[in-house]
Amino acid sequence: MVLPLVLLVMLALLGLAMSLHARMILLDSAAEGARAGSLAGAGTQLAEERTRELIVGALPSEYADDVRATEVETGGAAVIRVEVAAPLPMVGWAGTIEVAADAPIE
């Protein structure tokens, strides 16, 4: 009787660990993409490409399907904002992970 409960707890912990891992990969990829897009002569297209490249290198390719980069004004300074939305690992039907990162334009 205890074994199903232990298995359920273990699967929940595994799902949580995988979700946190995926979130950190997505956040780091978005930040690096924003930094790449903020360099002189670069733009939002480069930011999206770099973000997708980093995500696909560490996670399945469907995690890189919804990547958006925009130029926004924040406090009088122009920044590149990269936003990524991806399904939750193991329970993709239950929700999404959404992260965003900014970098000032040079």
Q: Would you state the pLDDT for residue 59?
A: 94
* Range of the structural domain that residue 92 is part of: 2-104
Q: Quote the CA–CA distance of 106 and 104 in Å, as a whole number.
A: 6
Q: How many folded domains does the chain comprise?
A: 1
Q: Would you state the pLDDT for residue 75?
A: 79
CATH number for 19: 3.30.1300
Q: Would you state the pLDDT for residue 92?
A: 62
Concatenating the DSSP letter of every residue in 39-106 gives STT--HHHHHHHHHHHHHHHS-GGGGSEEEEEEEEETTEEEEEEEEEEEPSS-GGG-EEEEEEEEE--
Q: Would you state the pLDDT for residue 106?
A: 83
pLDDT in tens, the chain (106 residues): 899 999 999 998 998 899 999 999 999 999 999 999 999 888 899 999 999 999 999 999 999 999 999 999 887 889 999 999 999 887 767 789 999 999 999 8
Q: Would you state the pLDDT for residue 73?
A: 87
